[in-house]
Amino acid sequence: MSRVEKFGRRNAVPEQARSKNKKATKQRAVNEQENKELSSRREAHPSNKQQMTKWFFRFVIGLFVLLMIGLLLWGRQYS
């Protein structure tokens, strides 16, 4: 008796695993179809990066102006 006859093939897949693979394949096909119908994330949730950049630079310039005013007042006090 050969090893194949005694133990079966090394890469033989049990019936349960085959049915799981078929289900997974069907699920992938459904997911791919749904993905084609959905819009991209970038379109659904646009970024507000430009708005945040504008506010950041306004904040930094405001801090600079406040620092200059504070230094001018401090310099006047001790002159």
The amino acid at residue 20 is K
pLDDT in tens, the chain (79 residues): 777 677 777 665 555 555 666 677 777 777 777 666 777 778 878 888 889 999 999 999 999 999 999 999 999 988 7
The pTM of this model reads 0.44
Structure tokens at 33: 């179809």
Q: Report the phi/psi class of residue 48: left, alpha or beta, with left for phi > 0 and alpha for psi in -120 to 50.
A: alpha
